[in-house]
């Protein structure tokens, strides 16, 4: 089920901070205090994933200027994250990425956010089994200052996400909050938005 309009699930897990420091990461340090773009990717040392992580890094100043923290998660270990972060880009690494990269080794964070590429079940022998891929889909979540998920989308493994559109989502939410106007299809910052019958949305959100 979608998490949009619901409280973002909290979690604690090891992470690499600033590209060089291992930390016990607690998402409660962010929830309710700042806006967050939380994104999941399948695996370290792959092909599409580094293009996405660098795409977020290349726009990190833009996100932070809008008051948004960027956090990445995959089901690899913190040790694998560390090795990947210490590998140069021209050798398939992500050296230079500075936002937190969380290690969801237990796969519980991916499960909470509905992005794990498979599921656990009990087979005919009443034994716990798993079907699918035990890694994360390419999930992206925008979480507001109250800790509410305001946007999510999930891509299958081969389909890289559009990071520029994630910035557009942030702009659209900020525009709505500031002006009470809703944003039509393909809206971009600086363009006209819409009032009319949708004005009641702001009042609804203020009560929920």
Whether residue 49 lies in the annotated active site: yes
What is the per-residue pLDDT across 158-174, written as a single tens digit (0 to 9) for each? 999 999 999 999 999 99
- Measured CA to CA, the distance from residue 67 to residue 177 in angstroms comes to 14
Give the helix/strand (H/E) hosting 102: strand 101-103
Which residues of the chain are in CATH 3.40.30.10 domains? 12-159
Angle between helices 48-58 and 163-179 (to 10 degrees): 40
Does the structure show a pLDDT above 80 at 204? no
Question: Which of 3.40.30.10, 1.10.3720.10, 3.40.50.720, 3.40.228.10 would CATH assign to domain 12-159?
Answer: 3.40.30.10
Handedness of CA 80, 64, 156, 126 (dihedral sign): positive
C-alpha atoms less than 13 angstroms from C-alpha of 187 in its C-beta half-sphere: 19
Does the structure show a pLDDT above 90 at 136? yes
- Select which of 16, 37, 49, 109 is catalytic: 49
Q: What is the average per-residue pLDDT within 82-86?
A: 97
What is the per-residue pLDDT across 14-70, written as a single tens digit (0 to 9) for each? 999 999 899 999 999 999 999 999 999 999 999 999 999 999 999 999 999 999 999
Would you say 36 and 48 are in contact if contact means Cβ atoms under 8 Å apart? no
Does the structure show a pLDDT above 50 at 155? yes
Would you say 95 and 45 are in contact if contact means Cβ atoms under 8 Å apart? no
């Amino acid at each position: 089920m979608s998490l949009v309009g619901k409280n973002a699930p909290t979690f604690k897990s090891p992470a690499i901070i600033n590209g060089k420091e291992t930390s016990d990461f607690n998402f409660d340090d962010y929830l309710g205090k700042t806006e967050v773009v939380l994104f999941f990717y399948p695996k370290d040392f792959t092909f599409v994933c580094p293009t996405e992580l660098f795409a977020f890094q290349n726009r990190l100043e833009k996100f932070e200027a809008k008051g948004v923290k960027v956090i990445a998660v995959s089901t690899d270990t913190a040790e694998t994250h560390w090795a990947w972060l210490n590998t140069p880009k021209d050798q398939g690494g992500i050296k230079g990425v500075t936002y937190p990269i969380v290690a969801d080794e237990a796969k519980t964070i991916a499960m909470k956010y509905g992005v794990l590429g498979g599921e656990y079940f009990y087979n005919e022998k009443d034994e716990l089994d798993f079907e699918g891929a035990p890694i994360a889909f390419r999930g992206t979540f925008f979480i507001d200052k109250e800790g509410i998920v305001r946007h999510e989308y999930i891509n299958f493994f081969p389909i890289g996400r559009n990071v520029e559109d994630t910035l557009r989502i942030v702009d659209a939410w900020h525009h709505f909050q500031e002006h009470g106007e809703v944003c039509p299809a393909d809206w971009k910052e600086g363009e006209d938005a819409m009032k009319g019958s949708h004005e009641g949305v702001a009042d609804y959100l203020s009560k929920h």
